[in-house]
Amino acid sequence: MPASSRRQPRNVPRLTRRGAGLVVIGAVLAGVSLWFDLRDVLLLAFVAIAMPLVGLGYAMLRLPRLAVTRTFAPATVAAGGSTRVRLTVQNRSRRPFDGARWRDEVPSPLLAPGEEVLPGIGSWERALPSGDDTVRLDYLLRTPRRGAYPIGPLQLSLGDPFGLAVMRRAVGGERELLVTPRVTAIDGAIARSAAVDGARHGLQRRTNPNSDELIAREYRYGDPLRRVNWAATARRGELMVREEEQRGDPEARLFLDTAPRGRTDEAHRGDAPDFEFELAVEAAASLGVHLLDRGYRLRVDPLDDGAPGRGEYREPGGGAALLLDDLARLPTPGQWRRRERAGGGSAANGAGRLTATRERRAPMPGFAVLVRPADERLAELAALRATFAPAVAIVLPSVAERWIETLEHADWRIIRIRRAAELATVFTARPTTVGAGAAREARWDEFLAGERDAP
Amino acid sequence: MRRDRAPLSRLQALALSGATFLLLVIAVMALGPLLAGSGWWWLCTAVAAAVLFGGAGLRAIRLPASLVPLGELLILLATLTLFFGGSSSLLLLVPTADTFGVFGELLGGAQRTIQQQSVPAVVVPSLAFGLALGTGLLAVLADLLVLTFRLPALAAAPALVPILVPGFLIEDGAEVGTLVLTAAAFLLLLRVDVRVRRRAALAHHDDEVLITAPRRTPVASSVLPTIGLAAAGLVAASLLTASTPSVSTSLLLGSGGQGALFARGVSPFLDLGRDLRRPDAVPAFSYVARDGDRPYFRLLTIDRFDGEVWAPSDRRIDGDNAVDEFPTPTGLGDAVARTQHPIDITVQQLRTTWLPLPYPVSSVEGLDGSWFWDRGPLTVRSADSDTSGQQYRATMLEIDPTAEQLRAAGSRIPESIQEFTELPEETPAPIAELAAELGASADTAYDRAVAIQEYLRGPDFRYSVEAPVEESYDGGGLDVVAEFLKQREGYCVQFASTMAVLARELGIPSRISVGYTAGTPTTTRVENVAVVQVDSQDLHAWPELYFQGVGWVPFEPTPGRGTVPDYSRPGASETAPVPERAPGTPPPTPGARPDLDPERQLASGGSAGATSDPVVWPLVTLGLVVVLLLPAGVRSWVRRVRFRRVRRDDRGADAAWREAMGTASDLGSAAGTAALTPREAADVLLDELGGLDDAGRRALYALRDAVERARYGPPGTEAPVSEAALVELVTALRRRATPVTRVRARLLPVSLLDTARAGRRSAARA
């Protein structure tokens, strides 16, 4: 959201409907009284004209001195959910503060309640705080779309005591609310893991069979007894536990089409949400969280070099949270392209190529989420097939059929999704079919689990 | 402003009712200067309290908002019955048919008393009834605006009614104190409303919002700004008022201290005419003249003429001109015979700052207050009191000029009198021609004046108080004079101003005096002298002409009124003074005035009522019919607008669907009223009606599809809707309804409410 369109300066006091009506009545009355020379009514006419103007001046001169703190519960929220915003408004003036309405400033896709009455607040209690100088406001903020949104400042409508004029003033600062993409829990293991309190033997053996995993070290307080290496203990005469080596961390790669080509239909341009792209982000988030949960180190790459969305995540160490954070901040294609044009940079245009990881090692799981990929990127992706096992492409309906074929020919497994909810089930076993079909499905499961090569 | 209409608690509604009551009661106080005593105010207060707090009670028992005004009207009726119904009511509160008869009489009486009574009026029961009824109706209206529509700012409208009234009746209008109090009460109402609104909104806020207010809320904090702002506004308004020049003073007469009699009229003439047209005479004053004098009593002299309006010269009161000694009248020479006669005058119901006196006088004694004479016309007025209840003795200077003396005056005019011959530049042709014709018939100024008087008293001219008003040439301006010379019907105002204008046209200085004719002797006697009674029917205006050596001399051009001075009779050219009321003079000498006076005849009160009734009732009926037909008219206008939109295809599908649904809800179907989608509405409609005929069903589907396409389809794909389908559907719907329903749908179209509601919603959204 560009800041300019979201926040209009409203530092001009204006008359309410009542005030404007009163001025009109007063003007008519003044005309009548002058015409008929009714001096007495002239007084009332001028009262009707003067009161709204006086109110206007009063509303303009009111300068609230309020301290506003804003917290979110929960602090980050998934798209489609809601969070409670807690506002604490403390009067920092020696005079009580009354006669205002409040509304929190919220950028456009978020939904906050409308203007409400702000109760009167007592004067600032420096010495013996009893809480009478503080109002707590708490409202439900609905977050339909992912993104990083500034919430605030608190908009106050300050009126005069007679409700004739009103002045909008912003109080306090703003605070960023992170709306992460929705994560769909994926049933079934995409890649098998043995995530039992930190020990990842099986996994390691399978992904990196040459490594020497067993190095014993002395027991430290807190090590589970199960990890006691009895053989080494017997040899050394003191408690020894197994220590695995970090070198062989399992890694997975995820390619995300973060800068899909422009859409062909001209009607949907500008800031209108790109639903396919959002779906892709959701799919990436779901996959990433799933993989991180399974103990994988995850490397996310944009399909186009230079496009946003590069990062490496590991768990433990807050990898899932970081991933969601990064994905939440991922600019929409429209924003990114605009930013690119403004920056004059064109780094994205074919400068880099998709490459495999640092060194050629055993194949790792590779995933690609495709929205509207560029042709050459797809060709490169197809070429990378050999480094991945399994190699799964999650394909949205917007990908042309011929590119899907290209990938299929390169032996990528294609998973088509139309809705985020489908993610939950596409990886689980299909309904068992008889004969060769059933056998293929079983093999597919094993393949997904990384236990065998491509079927 | 979304949740402004949060429901109020009983206490909040009561606070609003109380503030409204205060506003209304204080506004009614503005009638104070018009009415005597204060009992009427307590009555109005009681009625307003009964209506407003009764309404609050009805709301407290959760009566539907639409029924509360009706309930208040019933409360008003019961209150009026309690106060005025007397024995005709059941249990003092329930009115019977007789009670309504009593009310009708009281209303008629109130109308009469408003016409007759001068300010301050004595509050007779009928007037009290009118006040109570008016206050009650205003209270119902105010309650409707404040509590039903929740637009307290508009409560100013009913409060303004009693405030505007005094402005039209008396010079000063309502008292400043009352006005300021009313404004303060209005602001209090606004303040109470703001607080009540906030409280109600706080109590009924959005479910998703949780507001934790401090335990102790500052109440006093807003009092100071409230008072300060109100004071600032009132002071600013007062300053503005004080500094605004009165734009219309120059046009109107009402700058000087004429007091209550000629309160604020456009011209004293018109007030004079109004007083003359009053059905019942109000006694003005009586006098006792030992020497049998029957003089005219002059209140004021108007001598400035701008072509439109005759106005008195603006003179300051001079403190040296005490009334115990008067100067010699202007231009009076020593040769003219003069005698002094005392006259004792007792003022009854005349309230003005001008003193009724014969002209000229040499001294006045026995007055209360400070009275001074004006230098030019020698009229007497007061600086600090008025005529009511005065009893005084005037020493009248009776001058008796002869025709020779007047004739000898010639046409020499001193400089100081020159201004009384001024006329506006362009005199209408008929006046100039007539003046030339009359001027040619005589040689001297005096003879010309007599010729004018004779011409106006001639058989062609008729006295009529009503004619100038009906033909709308009332007043004394030049065009009025021209019109009067054509119509030849009018009363003293027209006659006097015509003579004055003609005299000025011929170069004779002239002015008009306004006052009373000599009055009617009564059978009462004081020291064996008859008391003469002068009442409002004796109000009169007459011209005075100036002759060098004699001074200002009155003439009497009005036929049938007053007495013609001896010197101005056509036969007065002989040396011997003609005895008073000589027989054989051409114009009728109205010695026995009372029964001959034309205005006496039209003065009978019954005739006025008889003429007004046949006019009023048809008008009332017509108004009622118009009001009853108003919804039907609005509905048919809406229908026409929608058909036009269908024809022009200006969002035609929408208009056609609205019209169809409007017709349905007019006919009592739920399809149009609820917030349904077109498809649901169409289904409901078919359900309710149990199936339309084929054509109607086809039309319904066609309209439904069109509106769905227009509302929900991508832009640019709307299909035009055919007017024929709409007509087909509407007639099909009508055909299925009973005739009673059809008539009700015509006269009370329910769909108007929906339209209004939708309009308000969209306005609120905007």
Using a CB-CB cut-off of 8 Å, the residues of chain B touching A58 are 225, 229
Q: Picking from A414-418, B109-113, B134-138, which range would have the lowest pLDDT averaged per residue?
A: B109-113
pLDDT for residue A256 is more than 70: yes
| Cβ atoms within 10 Å, residue A87 | 21
Give pLDDT, residue B75: 92
Give pLDDT, residue B251: 34
User: Closest Cα of chain A to B189: distance in Å?
Assistant: 9
Q: What is the pLDDT of residues A327-351, one digit of tens each?
A: 998 888 777 777 777 765 444 444 4
Give pLDDT, residue B586: 38
pLDDT for residue B644 is more than 60: yes
Last residue within a domain, chosen from B243, B278, B306:
B243
DSSP string, B483-533: HHHHH-EE-HHHHHHHHHHHHHHTT--EEEEEEE---EEEEEEETTEEEEE
Q: Give the Cα separation of B139 and B48 in Å (integer).
A: 6
Q: What is the pLDDT of residues B670-720, one digit of tens each?
A: 776 657 788 888 888 888 777 677 788 888 888 888 888 888 887 777 777
pLDDT for residue A213 is more than 50: no
Q: Nearest residue of A to residue B240 by CA position? A: A46
Please name the member of A18, A33, A121 whose beta carbon is closest to the beta carbon of B153.
A18
pTM of the predicted structure, to 2 decimals: 0.55
Please name the member of B163, B190, B229 whose beta carbon is closest to the beta carbon of A54.
B229
User: Closest Cα of chain B to A322: distance in Å?
Assistant: 30
Structural domain boundaries enclosing B699: 618-765
Please name the member of A33, A38, A119 whose beta carbon is closest to the beta carbon of B217.
A119
Whether A51 sits inside 8 A of B226 (CB atoms) is no
Q: Give the Cα separation of B4 and B568 in Å (integer).
A: 80
Q: In what order do the strands lie in the sheet with B539-547?
A: B297-302, B510-516, B539-547, B551-554
Give pLDDT, residue B26: 93
The answer to the question of residue B613 being in a domain is no
User: Closest Cα of chain A to B676: distance in Å?
Assistant: 25
Q: Which of B303, B301, B308, B313 is nearest to B256 (CA)?
A: B313
Whether B249 sits inside 8 A of A37 (CB atoms) is yes
A122 touches chain B (CB under 8 A): yes
Amino acid at B322: A
CATH code of the domain in which B630 resides? 1.20.120
Please name the member of A41, A123, A140 whose beta carbon is closest to the beta carbon of B208.
A140
The answer to the question of residue B61 being in a domain is yes
For chain A positions 146-205, those within 8 Å of chain B (CB to CB) are 159-164
C-alpha distances (whole Å) from B564 to each of A295, B554, B557, B561, B582 are 130, 9, 8, 9, 11
pLDDT > 70 in chain A, percent: 77
Cα B192 from chain centre: 34
pLDDT for residue B3 is more than 60: no
Characterize the bridge pairing of strands A76-78 and A175-180: parallel
Whether B217 sits inside 8 A of A50 (CB atoms) is no
pLDDT for residue A435 is more than 50: no
Q: Nearest residue of A to residue B221 by CA position? A: A96
User: Closest Cα of chain B to A52: distance in Å?
Assistant: 8
Counting one residue from chain A and one from chain B, the pairs whose CB atoms sit within 8 A come to 200
The answer to the question of residue B58 being in a domain is yes
Please name the member of A44, A116, A121 whose beta carbon is closest to the beta carbon of B163.
A44
Please name the member of A39, A55, A138 whose beta carbon is closest to the beta carbon of B173.
A39
Q: Give the Cα separation of A322 and A313 in Å (integer).
A: 7
The verdict on whether omega for the bond into residue A153 sits within 30 degrees of 0, i.e. cis, is yes
The mean predicted confidence, pLDDT, of chain A is: 77
Whether B216 sits inside 8 A of A137 (CB atoms) is no
Give pLDDT, residue A70: 93
Choose from B212, B234, B239 for mutation: most chain A CBs within 10 A.
B212
Using a CB-CB cut-off of 8 Å, the residues of chain B touching A115 are 1-2
Whether A116 sits inside 8 A of B232 (CB atoms) is no
Q: How confident is the model at residue B76 (pLDDT cuts 50, 70, 90)?
A: very high
Q: Nearest residue of A to residue B241 by CA position? A: A43
Residues facing residue B346 across a β-bridge: B286, B391
Whether A25 sits inside 8 A of B156 (CB atoms) is yes
Whether B198 sits inside 8 A of A58 (CB atoms) is no
Cα dihedral angle (B288, B291, B293, B297), rounded to 10 degrees? Answer: -50
Residues facing residue B535 across a β-bridge: B283
pLDDT for residue A394 is more than 80: yes
Whether B163 sits inside 8 A of A140 (CB atoms) is no
The answer to the question of residue B310 being in a domain is no
For the record, the structure tokens of B647 come out as 């024809």
Q: What is the mean pLDDT of residues A72-87?
A: 90
Q: Nearest residue of A to residue B150 by CA position? A: A18
Q: What is the mean pLDDT of residues B580-585?
A: 38
Using a CB-CB cut-off of 8 Å, the residues of chain A touching B176 are 40, 43
Using a CB-CB cut-off of 8 Å, the residues of chain B touching A131 are 214-215
Whether A132 sits inside 8 A of B183 (CB atoms) is no
Q: Picking from A243-247, A411-415, B84-88, B235-239, which range would have the lowest pLDDT averaged per residue?
A: A243-247
The mean predicted confidence, pLDDT, of chain B is: 78
Q: Which of A273, A315, A299, A318 is nearest to A76 (CA)?
A: A318
Residues A198-222 as b or e (16 or more Cβ within 10 Å = b) = ebbeebbebbbeeeebeebeebeee
Please name the member of B201, B218, B221 whose beta carbon is closest to the beta carbon of A117.
B201
User: Closest Cα of chain A to B230: distance in Å?
Assistant: 7
Using a CB-CB cut-off of 8 Å, the residues of chain B touching A96 are 218, 221
User: Closest Cα of chain A to B137: distance in Å?
Assistant: 22
Last residue within a domain, chosen from B225, B243, B261:
B243
Whether B241 sits inside 8 A of A159 (CB atoms) is no
Task: For helices A275-293 and A319-329, give the axis angle rounded to 10 degrees.
Answer: 170
Whether A43 sits inside 8 A of B183 (CB atoms) is yes
Q: What is the mean pLDDT of residues A353-359?
A: 58
User: Closest Cα of chain A to B610: distance in Å?
Assistant: 32
Q: Nearest residue of A to residue B212 by CA position? A: A136
Q: Which of B334, B532, B319, B550 is nearest to B446 (CA)?
A: B550
Q: What is the mean pLDDT of residues B36-59?
A: 90
A97 touches chain B (CB under 8 A): yes
Please name the member of A21, A58, A117 whose beta carbon is closest to the beta carbon of B225.
A58
Q: What is the mean pLDDT of residues B319-342?
A: 80
The answer to the question of residue B59 being in a domain is yes
User: Closest Cα of chain A to B741: distance in Å?
Assistant: 40
Q: Nearest residue of B to residue A46 by CA position? A: B237
Q: Nearest residue of A to residue B763 by CA position? A: A17
CA geometry: angle A29, A34, A39, nearest 5 deg = 90
For chain A positions 24-83, those within 8 Å of chain B (CB to CB) are 25, 29, 33-44, 46-51, 53-55, 58
Q: What is the mean pLDDT of residues A51-68?
A: 90
pLDDT for residue B759 is more than 60: yes
Q: What is the pLDDT of residues B210-269, one digit of tens each?
A: 888 887 777 677 788 888 989 998 888 888 888 877 554 333 333 333 333 333 333 466
A228 touches chain B (CB under 8 A): no
A140 touches chain B (CB under 8 A): yes
The answer to the question of residue B352 being in a domain is no
Please name the member of A17, A18, A39 whose beta carbon is closest to the beta carbon of B246.
A39
Q: Picking from B445-449, B601-605, B697-701, which range would have the lowest pLDDT averaged per residue?
A: B601-605
Contact at 8 Å (CB) between B487 and B467?
Answer: yes
The answer to the question of residue B301 being in a domain is no
Q: What is the pLDDT of residues B102-132, one digit of tens each?
A: 888 888 878 777 765 656 677 778 888 889 9
Q: Which of B703, B695, B701, B696 is nearest to B723 (CA)?
A: B703
Residues with Cβ within 8 Å of residue A403, at least 6 apart in sequence: A370, A373, A375, A378
Task: Please tell me whether residue B283 adopts helix, strand or coil conformation.
Answer: strand
| Three-state SS annotation for chain A | CCHHHHCCCCCCCEECHHHHHHHHHHHHHHHHHHHCCCHHHHHHHHHHHHHHHHHHHHHHHCCCCEEEEEEEECCEEECCEEEEEEEEEEECCCCCECCEEEEECCCCCCECCCCEEECCECCCCCCCCCCCCEEEEEEEEEECCCEEEEECCEEEEEECCCCCEEEEEEECCCEEEEEECCCCCCCCCCCCCCCECCECHHHHHHHCCCCCCCEEEECCCCCCHHHECHHHHHHHCCCEEEECCHHHCCEEEEEECCCCCCCCCCCCCCCCCCHHHHHHHHHHHHHHHHHHHCCCEEEEEECCCCCCCCEEECCCCCHHHHHHHHHHHCCCHHHHHHHHHHHCCCCCCCCCCCCCCCCCCCCEEEEEEECCCCHHHHHHHHHHHHHEEEEEEEECCCCCHHHHHHHHHCCCEEEECCCHHHHHHHCCCCCCCCHHHHHHHHHHHHHHCCCCCCC
Please name the member of B168, B202, B264 whose beta carbon is closest to the beta carbon of A119.
B202
Q: How confident is the model at residue B138 (pLDDT cuts 50, 70, 90)?
A: very high
Last residue within a domain, chosen from B224, B243, B262:
B243
Number of domains in chain B: 2
Cα B503 from chain centre: 36
The answer to the question of residue B290 being in a domain is no
Q: What is the pLDDT of residues A36-50, one digit of tens each?
A: 777 778 888 999 999
Contact at 8 Å (CB) between B191 and A161?
Answer: yes
Q: Give the Cα separation of A374 and A302 in Å (integer).
A: 12
Contact at 8 Å (CB) between A169 and A148?
Answer: no
Please name the member of A34, A120, A121 whose beta carbon is closest to the beta carbon of B247.
A34
Q: Nearest residue of B to residue A50 by CA position? A: B233
Whether B168 sits inside 8 A of A114 (CB atoms) is no
Q: How confident is the model at residue A398 (pLDDT cuts 50, 70, 90)?
A: confident
User: Closest Cα of chain B to A36: distance in Å?
Assistant: 8
Give the range with max mean pLDDT: A186-195, B261-270, B481-490, B560-569.
B481-490
